[in-house]
Amino acid sequence: MTPATPAHGGRVNVPAIGAQVPRRGNTFTTWLATTGMRLIGWRFEGPFPDVPKCVLIVAPHTSNWDFPIGVMAMYALGIRGTFLGKHTLFRFPLGVLMRFLGGVPVDRAAAGDVVGETVRHVQTHPGALIVLSPEGTRRLTTRWKSGFYRIAERGQLPILPIGFDYARKTIVFHPLFTVTGNLDRDVAALQALYRPSMAKFPAQYLGGGAPPRA
């Protein structure tokens, strides 16, 4: 896929997507999403890795706008992502759309091994891009949840850190990260990739400084 060169709003810079990456959409949906990104002024930065399975972490997450921009980006790239969402979002009729887009409902109040279920999903599919917000909420928090790390560790998956930089209207793909088993050190290294100034609402993102929570 060649980078898009729009007439207005700058270059979207859609990266080439390798043959191993799970795909979705078609020429029309790719064009539509790329045009949408051009019109609102967003672009991509960095290459997208050619891997069939990984955990994509997206931060900072402080706004409801993160979701529609993320969906637009997914279709512009032509990739199939799987994301975990609050079970209340999957009620009819919204649930039909959420599942179509790749959503999997999670009841945080119910007992269950969400990490284990996610790892089993990855193991039973030839390709799986698990998209997660490590913050787990749009509200102010000083800690990342550890679920994304446990999924990567138990599933032996690399982590792709993705930054939503509202200041530059840029979706940044960082290099793949391999977990070492040292949770605090690895999460600190990942948190260092993000800054409050990148967030839609910087005051709602503090980033690093505290160990992740379960």
Q: What would the pLDDT profile of 128-174 be if each residue is shown by its tens digit?
A: 999 999 987 777 777 898 999 999 999 999 999 999 999 999 999 99
Give the residue among 137, 165, 161 at the shortest CA–CA distance from 56: 161
Rounded CA-CA distance 165/171 in Å is 6
Domain boundaries, the chain: 27-62+74-196
**Phi and psi at residue 162, to the nearest 5°:** -120, 130
Tokens 């089993």: give the residue: 120
Rounded CA-CA distance 181/179 in Å is 6
Q: What would the pLDDT profile of 41-96 be if each residue is shown by its tens digit?
A: 999 999 999 999 999 999 999 999 999 999 999 999 999 998 877 778 788 888 78
Q: Is 81 exposed, middle or buried (0-12, 13-18, 19+ CB in 10 A)?
A: buried
Q: What is the 8-class DSSP label of residue 71? A: H
Q: What is the 8-class DSSP label of residue 16? A: P
Rounded CA-CA distance 184/88 in Å is 31
Q: What would the pLDDT profile of 6-52 be if each residue is shown by its tens digit?
A: 334 568 999 999 999 999 999 999 999 999 999 999 999 999 999 99
DSSP string, 170-186: EEEEPPPB---S-HHHH
Q: What is the pTM of this model?
A: 0.85
